[in-house]
Each structure stands twice: as structure tokens, then as C-alpha cells.
Amino acid sequence: MSKTIISVKNLVKNYGKFNAVKGISFEVKEGEIFGLLGPNGAGKSTTLEIIETLRQKTSGEVIVDGIDLDKDPNEIKKIIGVQLQTSGYYPGLNLLQLIELFCGLYNRTVDPMQLLEMVNLKDKAKAKVKELSGGQKQRFSVATTLINEPRIIFLDEPTTGLDPQARRSLWELVKNIRQRGTTVIITTHYMDEAEYLCDRVAIIDAGNIIALDTPDKLIDNLIATGFERPKEMKLANLEDVFIKLTGHSLRED
Ligand code: ADP
Ligand code: MG
């Protein structure tokens, strides 16, 4: 059993009188891809941003790699990679310049071209963020999470709004990042994505965790209740047709 890298206990977040996160507890193991699944408004981003030290919790305990959020948020910041909204980037700078800027902020030296190569954006080194497609923007924003060589990265709905090819390209990127030993926490409401990527998932609804396990186990549990899909599944679906016809390769590059 690998070691626990994030431990959340009885986490509560109130926005005024509204109870957005209702005392949730979960652990993330080192090196896993952990999914937080749930409908809009479930409390996924709130939970993530509290762990990322970007939002204040109301109560509860958060420990990241042995560091207590209440005592040492700055130490937590040093070991995590946070995805920023691409709209927040300095519009006048190109990708290389942005990476150099982030290196300065994090006090790190990385090879910007190597980083861009990893996210398949070498050709776009001199482009500005606004000139990128949706998938390219997301890949760049994932790249920026890696600059400080974090132990853990947080991805909040990284594939929302992307076409099937761009989603698959991002999935492979996330798998590569984990392959290098980085723990990944990802939110999504695409269940195929969670099933493909995540080692374990927590399903969160209206501020409560209502299930937490491996995708396989959750599916088996449902089948064990006697659940059957209402109609016989075909061996492929419309997305398979789309991918077969239009190919796996990215159009945007
Ligand atoms: P998710 O990411 O799962 O869609 P959020 O964590 O963004 O959900 O939001 C959870 C709930 O908290 C939602 O009902 C949302 O409207 C509310 N909420 C989020 N941020 C704020 C805020 N800054 N002020 C008030 N309510 C908020
Ligand atoms: Mg959200």
C-alpha cells in the first residue's frame, strides 16, 4: 500500500449561510490519479482550492505530504502544481516568455522547450495563449503546473469543452505525468474519462462524498445490486464512430 499524500478530514466550507462542503473525508495515495466526480455545484472546485491553499476552509483538517494546511500553507504551495485559468496569463507574452516568467516566480530553472515538447506545443513556442486552440490552451496550462516540479498536481475539469481528439491527447498527457511519479487530482464530469484515467474516484454530490473506490469496484458493486442497463449495449458507441472516422490525431496542431 503506498503512502498517503493528502489527507482530508471532516472538511466543511460555508459560503455565508450556504453549506457547500459538508464534512467530507478522503485520502489520496502517492502516485495515484484520484478523481473527484460530481455534477456542477457539488463542491469539487471548492474542495480542490482549499487543498491548494487558495480558499479558506470553514473547518476540518487538511494534511498534504505531512504538512498541516493550518500551520504551513506556504510549504504546501512549494510542492503542488496548480492550474491557472488561461485567461489570467499576460496577453502580450508568448509561451516561452510565460514559462520564463513562471520560472522566475517559482525560482526554478526549467528548459522551456523541453516542457513545451512534453505537452506537444513546441511548434507554438512563439505563439500567444490567445492564438491557441482550446486543447492547446489546456495543455499549456497543464505544462505550467509542472514548472516547480511538484509532487502533486491539481487539474480542475481540464477537458471540459474539448473535442474527442483533444480530450484523448490530454488523457495521455495526464498518464505521462503520473508515470513520472507525480500524484494527480482531477475533477471531471465525464465518466468515460474517470474510468479511463483514475485509479480511484470519490463521487461528490451536494457537498457530500457518496461513494469512494476504484471505478471497477464501484461498477461491480452496482452490478451486484442486480442493476442491468435497460438496453443491450452495442460493442461500440457514437464516440467510437466519430474517432474511427476522424482519427485520433489532433487537428489543431
Ligand atoms: P463544482 O466545482 O463541483 O461545480 P463549486 O465548488 O464551484 O462546485 O461550488 C459548490 C457550491 O458552492 C455551488 O453551489 C456554488 O454556487 C457555491 N459557491 C462556490 N463559490 C462560491 C462563492 N465564492 N460564494 C458563494 N457561493 C459559492
Ligand atoms: Mg468546479
What is the whole-number distance in angstroms between the Cα of residue 95 and the centre of ligand 1?
A: 31
Distance from the Cα of residue 161 to its chain's centroid: 15
Atom of ligand 1 at shortest distance to CA of 38?
A: 3
Q: Tell me the residue length of the chain.
A: 253
What gap in Å lies between CA 63 and CA 72, rounded to an integer?
Answer: 10
Does 253 have pLDDT greater than 60? Answer: no
Q: Which residue has the higher pLDDT, 247 or 75?
A: 75
What is the whole-number distance in angstroms between the Cα of residue 41 and the centre of ligand 1?
A: 5
E strands along 78-223, which residues? 80-82, 152-156, 183-188, 200-205, 208-213
What is the whole-number distance in angstroms between the Cα of residue 188 and the centre of ligand 2?
A: 9
* Beta-carbon count within 10 A of 134 CB: 15
Q: Which residues contact 209 (CB under 8 A, 6 or more apart)?
A: 24, 25, 26, 202, 203
What is the whole-number distance in angstroms between the Cα of residue 14 and the centre of ligand 1?
A: 10
Atom of ligand 1 at shortest distance to CA of 42?
A: 3
Strands 208-213 and 200-205: antiparallel
List pLDDT tens digits, range 106-115: 888 889 999 9
What gap in Å lies between CA 192 and CA 190, rounded to an integer?
Answer: 6
What is the whole-number distance in angstroms between the Cα of residue 55 and the centre of ligand 1?
A: 11
Q: What is the mean pLDDT of residues 111-137?
A: 93
Atom of ligand 1 at shortest distance to CA of 46?
A: 6
Q: Which ligand sits closest to the CA of 156?
A: 2
List pLDDT tens digits, range 143-201: 999 999 999 999 999 998 888 998 999 999 999 999 999 999 999 989 999 999 999 99
Q: What is the pLDDT of residue 86?
A: 64
Q: Which residues contact 159 (CB under 8 A, 6 or more apart)?
A: 138, 166, 167, 170, 171, 188, 190, 193
Atom of ligand 1 at shortest distance to CA of 44?
A: 3
Q: Which residues contact 252 (CB under 8 A, 6 or more apart)?
A: 132, 133, 135, 136, 166
Strands lying side by side in the sheet with 183-188: 80-82, 152-156, 183-188, 33-37, 200-205, 208-213
Atom of ligand 1 at shortest distance to CA of 45?
A: 2
Q: What is the pLDDT of residue 246?
A: 87
Residue whose grid cell is 457514437: 238
Residue nearest to atom 21 of ligand 1 (CA): 15
CB 89 within 8 A of CB 129: yes
Task: Please give the share of the chain, as a percent, with pLDDT higher than 70.
Answer: 98
Does 139 have pLDDT greater than 60? Answer: yes
DSSP string, 189-204: S-HHHHHHH-SEEEEE
Ligand 1 binding site (Cβ under 6 Å of any ligand atom): 15, 18, 20, 38, 40-46
Q: What is the pLDDT of residue 252?
A: 67
Q: What is the pLDDT of residue 7?
A: 98
Q: Which ligand sits closest to the CA of 58?
A: 1
What gap in Å lies between CA 9 and CA 252, rounded to an integer?
Answer: 42
H/E stretch holding 67: strand 67-68
Does 85 have pLDDT greater than 70? Answer: no
Amino acid at 58: T
Work out the mean pLDDT of the chain and round it to a whole number: 92
Q: Which ligand sits closest to the CA of 49?
A: 1
